């Protein structure tokens, strides 16, 4: 059953999981893997189009022509909300730098959105800035440091495209930006980083590359 499923649906690993879930027999895993991969490659040799794809083609539907399949074309137009981090690490405006470093020791990031006592976004601060201030015995309050810079918070909204967000980060020479509500720029929703964008783009490229082989 597993090899038939792997050959017809072209999902060998899904077949392994289903059979194992049904039997809970560890001794089946290795022979099942071997059988599934053989069936999968033989099926691809004998018929390039899987059965479900063939049924869709009979109805005039070609998955490869759908916009969602052409990820390399649509990826940059997707909204930031599809790849942003919602549960982001934040610093409190009332913390001193040494206190912030202690709180954030186990969750070290390049930078952090800063929230006041009411939960409103007041700015951002980098880990380097915290370290630098603490090392020079300044140990200032984060809120005072942000106020002294008198800089506008670089932020994006959830419906901003990934391309526009990347351009904003690069032009402003920052590694990350808080994602805020479109109606309330001080309400933090999450954070987007250049690492998030690069990681997601690489994942899309790999998926497209696999589908084209």
Residue count of the chain = 213
CA distances from 29 to 7, 9, 123, 175 (A): 17, 19, 53, 44
State pLDDT tens for residues 186-201: 999 999 998 888 887 7
Q: Is residue 22 part of a domain?
A: yes
Least confident of 11-20, 35-44, 54-63: 54-63
Residue 48: domain span: 1-61
One domain for residues 94 and 144? yes
One domain for residues 99 and 191? yes
One domain for residues 103 and 151? yes
One domain for residues 31 and 126? no
CA distances from 47 to 50, 53, 65, 204 (A): 7, 11, 20, 26
Q: What angle do CA 144, 148, 152 make, to 5 degrees?
A: 105
One domain for residues 121 and 190? yes
The number of domains in the chain is 2
pTM of the model: 0.59
One domain for residues 90 and 43? no
One domain for residues 148 and 112? yes
- In this prediction, residues 141-145 reach a mean pLDDT of 86
């Amino acid at each position: 059953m597993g090899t038939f499923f792997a050959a017809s649906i072209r999902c060998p690993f899904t077949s392994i999981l289903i059979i194992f879930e049904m039997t809970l027999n560890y001794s089946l895993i290795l022979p099942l893997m071997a059988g599934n991969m053989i069936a999968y490659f033989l099926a691809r040799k004998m018929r390039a189009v899987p059965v479900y794809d063939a049924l869709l083609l009979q109805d005039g539907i070609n998955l490869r022509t759908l916009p969602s399949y052409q990820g390399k074309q649509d990826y940059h137009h997707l909204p930031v909300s599809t790849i942003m981090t919602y549960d982001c690490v934040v610093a409190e405006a009332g913390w001193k730098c040494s206190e912030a470093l202690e709180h954030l020791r186990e969750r070290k990031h390049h930078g952090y959105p800063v929230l006041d006592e009411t939960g409103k976004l007041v700015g951002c601060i980098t880990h380097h800035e915290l370290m630098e201030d603490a090392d020079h015995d300044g140990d200032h309050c984060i809120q005072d440091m942000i106020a002294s810079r008198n800089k506008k918070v670089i932020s994006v909204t959830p419906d901003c495209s990934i391309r526009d967000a990347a351009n904003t980060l690069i032009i402003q020479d920052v590694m990350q930006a808080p994602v805020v509500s479109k109606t309330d720029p001080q309400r933090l929703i999450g954070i987007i980083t250049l690492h998030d964008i690069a990681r997601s783009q690489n994942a899309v490229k790999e998926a497209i590359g696999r589908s084209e082989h």
